[in-house]
Each structure stands twice: as structure tokens, then as C-alpha cells.
Amino acid sequence: MEDESGSLPLKSDFSAWYNDVLWRAEIMDVRYPVKGLYVWFPFGFGLRRHTYTILRGLLDASGHDETLFPLLIPKTEFMKEAEHIKGFEEEVYWVTHGGLTELDVPLALRPTSETAMYPMFALWVRSHADLPIKIYQIVNTFRYETKHTRPLIRLREITSFKEAHTAHATWDEAAAQVETALSLYTQFYDDLCIPVIISRRPDWDKFPGADYTMAVDALMPDGRTLQVGTAHHLGTHFSKTFNITYEDATGEQQFVSQTCYGISERCIAAAIGVHGDDRGLVLPPKVAPVQVVIIPIIMKKQAEEVRAAAEALKAELEATGLRVKVDDRELRPGAKYYHWEMRGVPLRIEVGPRDLAAGTVVAATRDGEKMTLVRAGLAGEIPGVLAAFAGRLRERAEASLTSRIVLAESVDAAIEATKTGIAVVHWCGDETCAEAIEKETNASVLGTEVRSAHIGKSEGACIVCGRPGTSTVIARTY
């Protein structure tokens, strides 16, 4: 599938690098004949599978149950929540015919699943004993994007949308669930070695129908932020629309308070963008489809002995739970190194006649750390090597983010900062001032109530009007 000829563009030309690495590393094939729809290569799908296995594990361990709702939503249900619909009405795909017969009620392909799930919540909830509900699904969703589409980042078919939906007896309990969601997302991105910034979106940018929206952003190499997660407090907006009520301890009917929170395959785009280098992908060990590749260094006299040693090592490593590949193709070692470096494999181990004689192996991590390891007991050493590699990935990503965050005390300083990263400004909260900031900087006001080890909370004069303001993140976005 991959053309090994030619060279990968430098990562400094991020747009070209990103598009090229997706097919060279066999993540996605963009040649599907519908704009905004793409095909996962098997290697890329392995990356997706291991990434979402982490996410599933975090959700399952925190009391969520996985479910699956239909793709099609009747227009009669979809149109019930006016504010919600206003936010999505230009993006909906409609099914209007079944074969040649026009449907009595058009069916929407879900852009998100509130209007599919909440009629069922109304049937499931009767008393406070039925609460809380905490469910999630990982599904495809469809949005008619009119902007420039880009694999994993801006799609018409989001193939890997994890959406969680919860229902609670009180507003405060729902607010606590939003905090739980943000904690889960922080752990998830730590496993991907990606530092993120959490902030409260301004009211005009919150999820349609929400009381408030908290968002998770990652900073990409081109200085733009990528929204890689959201958590919404829905209050009672949807429960009033869909009549989701419970009988409280006094016998009174009460509307439930709800939340929803989601992550899409943008999390994989972030991992690719944040960690990759001029040679291709650099994958965190927890999500790499191949964690260790073994390269037999074949010489004529000991060819079979070397192959047998490579297979024996593979079996030992696999017995510890590692994902291992032996590359015994009839290619030069350099060509094999190039192949697996492009795919971001965290650790390469070489086994040759000299290694057999010495009782050692030569190993190299994807970030260039080379070492000679004793063959005896090697299986017990590899987890530590991979953990150290992941630690270096995390440290480099943290340092890169920190170096591109600037406290800007004027509009001119914010303009300069957002050319390469994030500006932290003081903003009074007035939408008119936000519009002025966005117009002058050609960037977006991401949010307040910022949560990041890299950004301290402070008060100061709004950079537009001079009134009291608080720390606010602004950046160019995808």
C-alpha cells in the first residue's frame, strides 16, 4: 500500500507533512470518492483500536455502561429542541426515501445523539432509584461540513465519536459529573503523552442547549489549537423538552439534570501532530499497533539460527503482553528501519550473529536512544525502556507547549503570540471586547476558567476596554 520512494516533507511544513504521513504510515486513505469521508488502513485502525481501548477502560472503571443507539433519528424527535437544532440545522444529512418510496417522516443521520437517546431516557426513568444514568457509545456521526475537510480533523463522517450521556437528580450532581469527565479526559491524554488545556467556552460558543461547555484543547505544531474533547452541562433543557422526570423522595415529579461529553478521532490527529517528526510518526507505547519490531540481521552462515532467535524473543515479549513484529522480509536493514520509523514503532531490536555470540541485543527507541541489552531477562527490561520513552515524549510535548504560551498584556502582544501559539490575555467577559480581540488577532477566544499546569490564573485589566478581567486563552483554531 505504501510507496517507499520519495521523502516525507519536513514537519515545519505541517500541512504537507500531515497529509503525507497519513498515507505513508498507512493511517488513512483519502481517495474515497466522497468529500470528507476516508478509509482507515489496517495499521491506522490498529492505532484507533488501542486508543479507544484506553478510553473504554477509563469509562468502564468509572461506572459508565456502553450501549448502542440507532443511526437514524426521526425528524419529529430531532426538531423538538429549538436551540439544539439551530446549532446543527445546516449540517444535517436527511434520508427522505426508502427505495423509491418517499418517507412519511424524514430521518436524520445523527450529527450527535441527544435527540436519539433522550426519548428513551424518558421511558427508562421513573423514580430517583433509576438515577444516575451513565452510558456511552462509540459510533459514526455525520455532519455536512462546508469548510475545508481534513482527515481526522474536520470530517463529514466522524467515524469514532465517543459520546457519553448522563442523567442526574440535581444540577449539582450533573456539575460534579462534568468534573469527572474532565478528570477522565486528563488521564486519557496523559496516556497519550499529550498536554492539554481545559477552559470554559464563552456563552456564544457553548454546545447548543447547554448551560455551559468545558472544552479540551491541544496545541498543534503549526500553532493552531485543536479541540480534542468537550463536556457539556445540559441543565434541564433537554429533560423538559423530552419530559424526562423522576419521582423524588417526597412524591413530587422533578426534571433530571443532564450532561454529555465527547471525544472523536481528533485525539489521534493530536497524537500524530504533537509527537511526529521529520521521519514520520512517533507513537506513545500504549497505543502503538506494533510496540516492538525485531529486525533479524541475516548472514548466510547463521541465517536460520538468527531467525529462530528472533522468533523466540518475539514469543517471550508477547507472553508479557507486548505487541511485537518480526520483520524478516528480504530487504536491507536500512529499508526496514525506514519502514518502521515511518510508522512510529516505539522500540526496534536488532538480532544478528554477533549478538547471539555476545548474549546481547542492540535496541533503539523511536526518539534515537540506542542501547545494548543483555539477552537473558530481556523481557523484564522492555517495559521500563518503553516507560522511559513515553516519559521523554511527555516531557518534550510539555516543553513545546510551555514555550508557545505567552502572557499578552496588549492586543499587539496577542497578535504576535497567536502567530505561533497561545496568548493568555485578560478579558472582561464582554462579547463586544471579545469580538474586537478576535478581529485584531485573527484568532478565537477559547475560554476562561483555564485549567492547565502551564497557565496560571490571574486578574488584570481587559486588553480592550481596561475594565477588570480574568485570564483568557486565545489562539488560532482548526
Distant-in-sequence, close-in-space partners of 329: CB < 8 Å, separation ≥ 6: 336
Q: Is residue 361 located within the same domain as residue 432?
A: no
Are 68 and 209 in the same domain? Answer: yes
Residue (of 346, 344, 348) closest to 297 by Cα position: 348
Q: Are residues 256 and 328 both part of a single domain?
A: no
The grid coordinates listed for 87 are 446549532
Q: What CA–CA distance (Å, rounded) separates 139 from 262?
A: 11
pLDDT at 132 (0 to 100): 98
Count of structural domains within the chain: 3
Cell numbers found for residue 325: 513484529
Residue where one domain finishes, among candidates 333, 353, 388: 388
Res 453: pLDDT: 87
* Same-domain status, 110 and 259: yes
Task: Tell me, yes or no, whether 283 lies in a domain.
Answer: no
Residue 299: per-residue pLDDT: 83
C-alpha cell at 209: 442547549
CB contact set of 248 (below 8 Å; sequence gap of 6+): 128, 169, 254
* Cα–Cα separations (whole angstroms), residue 161 to 142, 152, 262: 10, 11, 7
What are the distances in angstroms from CA 164 to CA 180, 230, 267, 312?
12, 10, 16, 43
Judge if 52 and 201 occupy the same domain: yes
**Residue 199 counted as domain residue:** yes
- Containing domain of residue 268, as a range? 14-275
Q: Indicate the residue among 275, 308, 324 that finishes a domain.
A: 275
> CATH code at 355?
3.40.50.800
Distance CA 224, CA 211 (A): 27
Based on the domain organization, do 141 and 217 belong to the same domain? yes
Residues 341, 270, single domain; the answer is: no
Q: Are residues 427 and 301 in the same domain?
A: no
Q: For position 22, which CATH number holds? A: 3.30.930.10
Question: Mind listing the pLDDT tens digit for each residue in 53-109?
Answer: 999 999 999 999 999 999 999 999 999 876 777 778 889 999 999 999 999 999 999
Nearest residue to 469 via CA among 406, 415, 417, 426 = 426
Are 99 and 160 within one domain? yes
Beta bridge partners of 370: 364
Q: Are residues 26 and 115 in the same domain?
A: yes
Do 350 and 455 lie in one domain? The reply is: no
For residue 286, is it within any domain?
no
Q: Provide the mean pLDDT of the chain.
A: 96
Distance CA 306, CA 288 (A): 26
Residue 147: per-residue pLDDT = 83
Q: Is 281 part of any domain?
A: no
C-alpha cell at 421: 501559539
Among 228, 222, 162, 234, which Cα is nearest to 197's?
A: 228
Number of H helices, E strands in the chain: 14, 24
> Does some domain include residue 396?
no
Alpha helices, H only, 206-302: 237-242, 266-275
Residue 35, in any domain of the structure: yes
Whether residue 321 is contained in a domain is answered as yes
Query: Which residues have a Cβ under 8 Å from the Cβ of 123 and sit 6 or more positions away?
Result: none
Instruction: Give the pLDDT of the chain (478 residues) as one tens digit per residue.
Output: 545 556 899 999 999 999 999 999 999 999 999 999 999 999 999 999 999 999 999 999 999 999 999 999 999 999 987 677 777 888 999 999 999 999 999 999 999 999 999 999 999 999 999 999 999 999 999 999 888 899 999 999 999 999 999 999 999 999 999 999 999 999 999 999 999 999 999 999 999 999 999 999 999 999 999 999 999 999 999 999 999 999 999 999 999 999 999 999 999 999 999 999 999 999 999 999 999 999 999 887 789 999 999 999 999 999 999 999 999 999 999 999 999 999 999 999 999 999 999 999 999 999 999 999 999 999 999 999 999 999 999 999 999 999 999 999 999 999 999 999 999 999 999 999 999 999 999 999 999 999 998 898 899 999 999 999 999 999 999 9
41/35 Cα distance (integer angstroms): 18
**Looking at the structure, do residues 334 and 250 belong to the same domain, yes or no?**
no
**pLDDT on residue 4:** 56
Decide if 222 is inside a domain: yes
* Cα(163)–Cα(136) distance, integer angstroms: 6
Among 246, 275, 304, the domain boundary falls at 275
**d(C-alpha 379, C-alpha 316), whole Å:** 6
Closest CA to 165 of 199, 187, 137: 137
Cα torsion 106, 109, 113, 119 to 10°: value is 20
Evaluate whether 448 touches 429 at the Cβ level (below 8 Å). Answer: yes
Q: What pLDDT score does 5 carry?
A: 55
